[in-house]
Amino acid sequence: MRAPPPGPDLPRPLFLYHWFYRTYPFLEECAQRYGEAFTIRIPGMRQAVVMHHPDAIKEVITASPDDAHAGKLSTNMAPLLGKHSLLLLDGAEHLRQRKLLLPPLHGERMNAYGARIAEITESSLDRWPVGREFPVHERFQAITLDVILRVVFGLDDPSLLEVVRARLLRLLDVGSNPWLLVPALQRDLGAWSPWGKFVRAIRDADELLYAEIGRRRAQGKSERDDVLTLLLQARDEQGQGMTDKELRDELTTLLVTGNETTATSLAWALRWILATPAVHERLQQELAEGDASPERLVKLPYLDATVREVLRMQPVFPLIGRVVQRPLRIGGLDFEEGDGVILAFYLTHRRPELYSEPRRFHPERFLERKYGPTEWLPFGGGARRCIGMALALYEMKIVLGTVLSRASLRLARDRVREVRRSLTIAPSEGLPVILERRRQRGPRPGASN
């Protein structure tokens, strides 16, 4: 780009600090100062222009996948996710993997997972302490991890579940350091170095993942309905299935992107609900009008609107990017091959012409109008929209509905800050809450399934 728009001209260390640890306020400060588009320089790009107008977003997400690649921006995650991860792929290989992955994570398939998600949530809720504060984010992480282990991986043996859970928790904990995403710091200096710990955690997790893939292949065709079983049976247009390495990489991607992101969104949801009495009261009224079965929870209009408003206010991924592959005109700017374009939908979600009083938590706005794919996009858009969107929304509604139906909670802190946790931006201190009262489980149709 010969004449890029102005943007923050900061020393690299200072820029990375703002980018990693002050993401939301930094984006807002830049938008206020520079307007609809501003230029930044981040690792892996020659230069990148940040944009947030819906028209510019439409031009990018509807562009040919051959004209703007997304996978190139995630190459620093290859040591964790693997080179076959959907996030790292572009072109025909990305399209093939997406077609194989989509059916188990979309549409009517979700209904088969509801009872398990509800049971996992109920079991966790039974163990929450009463009368003292605790970080609820950790509890949501445990719930979403168990959903992945049982719904995605299909694990049901208690002893195996414990071993896999322990190794994957270590991997997620070690990998939560955002500086591990910086290629220059990806050096193994021994078992006690940050990258050394990470490499060994990956190795231990991979050992179990490959063993489970091998065991399930040896079982042959199965009537099970977990995601791993369905992926083992999936075939592309040439009749080819995924290799063990491809399966490992996609399972790891679902683990990393599906566990922390959904848990963080649930924590933010509870924060906003408990801090907004009118919303809390209306949710309680809606939930009290019937049972807490998964089939009912996922259809509740105000619960759905609340989840969507949470994701508008606190998108755990506040932006997405592309690397331009040929000269393109986007948002009135001429991009050249190698230029980057970043869509900051966190800023889109705060445009007052789209969302009146954008800083107000107001789920009713999603009952009053339908927002288009370039106006509400916490999961990205176009051919790169998050493959787990349907499962994430489904899971959030069941977990939130189950918790709010049984638990009387209040925030333990008046002020909640935003803190960086690896890929996501989470509530500070794990969102301390106090469980004042826990109601007994009620009858739930389908609980034995």
State the binding site for heme: 386
- With tokens 């904990």, the residue in question is 173
Measured between alpha carbons, how far is 240 from 222 in angstroms, rounded to an integer?
Answer: 18
Quick one: pLDDT at residue 448? 40
Quick one: pLDDT at residue 44? 57
Quick one: pLDDT at residue 418? 87
State the binding site: 386
- First-last CA distance in the chain: 57
From the list 288, 299, 307, the residue with the least C-alpha distance to 439 is 288
- Which band of pLDDT confidence, cut at 50, 70 and 90, is reported for residue 109? confident
- Does the pLDDT value for residue 104 go beyond 60? yes
Considering the entire predicted model, what is its pTM? 0.93
- Which band of pLDDT confidence, cut at 50, 70 and 90, is reported for residue 53? very high
- Which band of pLDDT confidence, cut at 50, 70 and 90, is reported for residue 187? confident
Q: Which of 95-99, 134-138, 196-200, 380-384 has the lowest mean pLDDT?
A: 196-200
Quick one: pLDDT at residue 179? 67
The angle, 0 to 180 degrees and rounded to 10, between the axes of the packed helices 277-288 and 389-406 is: 90
Single-letter residue type at 248: R
pLDDT cut 90: percent of the chain above it: 72
- Which band of pLDDT confidence, cut at 50, 70 and 90, is reported for residue 434? very high
- Which band of pLDDT confidence, cut at 50, 70 and 90, is reported for residue 445? very low
Strands 340-343 and 48-51 come out as parallel
- Does the pLDDT value for residue 28 go beyond 60? yes
Q: What is the pLDDT of residues 277-326, one digit of tens each?
A: 999 999 999 999 999 999 999 999 999 999 999 999 999 889 999 999 99
Question: What is the gyration radius of the CA atoms in the chain, in angstroms?
Answer: 22
Q: Which of 45-59, 176-190, 262-276 has the highest mean pLDDT?
A: 262-276
Burial of 222 from C-beta contacts in 10 A (0-12 / 13-18 / 19+): middle
Q: How many helices (H) and strands (E) does the chain have?
A: 17, 12
> What is the pLDDT of the chain when averaged over all its residues?
91
From the list 261, 321, 266, the residue with the least C-alpha distance to 87 is 321
Helix, strand or coil, per DSSP, at residue 41: coil
Exposure on the CB side of residue 367, measured as CA atoms within 13 A: 11
- Does the pLDDT value for residue 329 go beyond 70? yes
- Give me the residues paired with residue 437 across strands: 408
- Does the pLDDT value for residue 443 go beyond 70? no
Q: Which of 173-182, 190-199, 330-339 has the lowest mean pLDDT?
A: 173-182
Q: Which of 176-185, 218-227, 267-276 has the highest mean pLDDT?
A: 267-276
Helix, strand or coil, per DSSP, at residue 328: strand
- Which band of pLDDT confidence, cut at 50, 70 and 90, is reported for residue 256? confident
Measured between alpha carbons, how far is 111 from 293 in angstroms, rounded to an integer?
Answer: 11
- Which band of pLDDT confidence, cut at 50, 70 and 90, is reported for residue 139? very high
Q: Which domains does the chain have, with CATH numbers?
A: 12-81+92-126+135-438 (1.10.630.10)
Quick one: pLDDT at residue 47? 85
From the list 294, 292, 201, 319, the residue with the least C-alpha distance to 252 is 201
